[in-house]
């Protein structure tokens, strides 16, 4: 636990947060966001049936609709705090894994399994090619990390250029796949990896990038308090399963229950 002494001798303490704590926080934030999208916007408001103008008119005439829209927006803002945390944990996982191939395979399998639940929850369809789930983005980021690691010893202009091209290639791939949070997660992954030991610079750059989702910088308090402890109280496979399961459950509720 870090301690700082204030002006009047008051000792300010920052909590020790484990990887397990960060995972739980990110999962809760993501769950809240998905409820906002699937249940509130898709299930209750039926947002797809409105244009922006017709939605504004409907909200002006219906206070309940306006309240639901406000709640949905707030829930999505809360979800923005999960993005830097998941990205930070991805880099931590890469740096500490003993089996990169198994790590990547698990990520890719989760991405494949999650696609139909994601389409159902976010698009309201069984198959929707307009966007792909966030695990696709994380798989691409994991491949990018391996490439950056291979060329980590490159110095000077050439080394810097190679690393920039690797990051640019990842940006192109997430754009082609239309993967969720693509640009933000790729840039955050690069920052967390390249400036791994430079906490202040990593935090400043990370906060700037995560402003793409407005509330993203708030999660850096938890990242700053991370104590490096990676022992999970909950089995790691539970966290992987949580992503497709929560999407599937909320997607089914939004489409077939509400």
pLDDT digits (tens, 9 = 90+) for 215-254: 999 999 999 999 888 877 888 899 999 999 999 999 999 9
pTM of the entire structure? Answer: 0.90
Domain ranges of the chain: 16-257
What pLDDT, on a 0 to 100 scale, did the predictor assign at position 13?
63
Helix axes 82-96, 19-34, angle to 10 degrees: 140
pLDDT range class, residue 158, cuts 50, 70, 90: confident
Average pLDDT of the chain?
Answer: 91
Distance CA 189, CA 90 (A): 8
- Per-residue model confidence as pLDDT tens digits over 44-90: 998 888 888 888 888 888 889 999 999 999 999 999 999 999 999 99
Residues sharing a CB contact under 8 Å with residue 186, sequence separation 6 or more, in sequence order? 137, 140, 141, 144, 167, 170, 171, 174
Residue 59 · residue 65 · CB < 8 Å: yes
Give the distance between the most distant pair of CA atoms in the chain.
62
pLDDT range class, residue 198, cuts 50, 70, 90: very high
Q: Please tell me which residue, 176 or 16, carries the higher pLDDT value.
A: 176
What pLDDT, on a 0 to 100 scale, did the predictor assign at position 9?
53
What region does 229 belong to: left with phi over 0, alpha with psi -120 to 50, or beta?
beta
Distance CA 255, CA 121 (A): 8
Task: Tell me, rounded to whole angstroms, the distance of Cα 150 from its chain centroid.
Answer: 25
């Amino acid at each position: 636990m870090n301690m700082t002494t204030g002006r009047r001798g008051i000792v300010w303490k920052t909590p020790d947060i484990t990887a397990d704590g960060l995972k739980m926080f990110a999962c809760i934030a993501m769950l809240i966001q998905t409820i906002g999208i699937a249940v509130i916007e898709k299930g209750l408001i039926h947002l797809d049936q409105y244009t922006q103008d017709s939605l504004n008119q409907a909200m002006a005439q219906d206070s309940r609709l306006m309240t639901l829209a406000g709640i949905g927006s707030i829930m999505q803002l809360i979800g923005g705090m999960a993005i830097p945390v998941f990205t930070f944990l991805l880099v931590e996982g890469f740096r500490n894994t003993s089996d990169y191939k198994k790590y990547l395979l698990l990520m890719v399998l989760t991405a494949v399994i999650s696609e139909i639940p994601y389409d159902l929850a976010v698009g309201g369809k069984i198959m929707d090619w307009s966007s792909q789930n966030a695990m696709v983005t994380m798989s691409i980021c994991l491949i990018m990390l391996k490439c950056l690691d291979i060329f980590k010893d490159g110095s000077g202009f050439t080394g810097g250029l190679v690393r920039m091209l690797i990051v640019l290639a990842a940006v192109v791939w997430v754009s082609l796949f239309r993967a969720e949070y693509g640009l933000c997660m790729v840039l955050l992954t690069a920052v967390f990896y390249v400036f791994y030991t430079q906490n202040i610079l990593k935090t400043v750059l990370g906060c700037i990038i995560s402003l793409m989702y407005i509330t993203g910088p708030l999660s850096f308090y938890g990242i700053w308090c991370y104590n490096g402890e990676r022992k999970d109280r909950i089995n790691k496979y539970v966290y992987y399963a949580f992503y497709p399961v929560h999407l599937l459950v909320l997607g089914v509720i939004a489409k077939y229950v509400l």
